[in-house]
Amino acid sequence: MNFCSECGQSVRVGIPDDDNRPRHICDNCGTIHYQNPKIVAGTVPVYGDKVLLCKRAIEPRVGYWTLPAGFMENEESTDAAAARETWEEANAKVDIKHLYVLIDTIAISQVYMMFLADMPEPEYGAGPESLEVELFSEDEIPWDELAFPTIEKTLRLYFEDRKKGEYPLHQCQVTKEDRDRFFAQASAVNHA
C-alpha cells in the first residue's frame, strides 16, 4: 500500500502507539490501515464416488486442478460464498452439508473453509475462471496437477474419511514448509 484510501496522501509503515505490529499509517488524516487474513470459501462437491474438480483458467496456477473455492465477498455467509464459488467456477448446484476442512495458511495470511457438499445431479460446466470441469474418482484424481497444497490436503482427508464413512470437521495448517515442498514437487513434475 502506497497511498491512503481515505485522503490520497502517502502512507508510511510504522508501529502505532499502543500496538505491537507494523501498519500502514497515514500521517495526514490519521487513519491506520489494518490488514487482516482473507477467507477462502469452497466446497468438496460429491456425486456418487466422485469429486468435482476445476482446471484453472486464471492465475495463479493456470492449468492446474482445484476444488471450487474463492475469496468471500462482504456481507456474505461462508456457506453461501462456498456455494456461489461452486456455481461460478463449475456451474454446479450443490447442497451444502457442513463445514468440513478449516486450514490456516499462515504464510500467506489466508484461512480456507471447505464445505462438504452433495451434487443432486451430475450437471456442471466450465465457468469463466475454469478451462475444464470434471468428476474424478479417487484413482482418477490428478494428484501431480493440483493447484494448491490446501486442495491436496482437503482431497486426501476426504478420501481417507470416505473409507470410514465419517466426515468430521478437520482443523489443520498448511505451513510454509508444506507450501515449499508442494510447489517444488509440482514444478519438478511440470518440467519433467
Sequence-distant (6+) residues with CB within 8 A of 47 are: 118, 119, 121, 122, 135
Output the smallest distance, CB 36 to Zn ion, in A. 19
Residues binding Zn ion: what is the number (CB under 5 A)?
7
> Residue 29 interacts with Zn ion (CB under 5 A)?
yes
Of 26-34, 83-91, 95-103, 147-155, the segment contacting Zn ion by CB under 5 A is 26-34
Of 22-30, 89-97, 101-109, 123-131, the segment contacting Zn ion by CB under 5 A is 22-30
**Pairwise CA distance, residues 181 & 87, whole Å:** 31
> Parallel, antiparallel, or unpaired for β 130-136 and 50-56?
antiparallel
Output the smallest distance, CB 109 to Zn ion, in A. 23
**Pairwise CA distance, residues 127 & 54, whole Å:** 9
Of 25-33, 80-88, 106-114, 127-135, the segment contacting Zn ion by CB under 5 A is 25-33
Residue number, 9 or 137, with CB nearest to Zn ion: 9
> Residue 27 interacts with Zn ion (CB under 5 A)?
no
Of 4-12, 36-44, 131-139, 154-162, the segment contacting Zn ion by CB under 5 A is 4-12
> Residue 25 interacts with Zn ion (CB under 5 A)?
no
The cell numbers describing 119, all together, are 451434487
Q: What is the DSSP annotation of 5-55?
A: TTT--B-EEE--TT--S-EEE-TTT--EE---PEEEEEEEEEETTEEEEEE
> Residue 157 interacts with Zn ion (CB under 5 A)?
no
> Residue 171 interacts with Zn ion (CB under 5 A)?
no
List contacts with Zn ion (CB under 5 A). Answer: 4, 6-7, 26, 28-29, 31
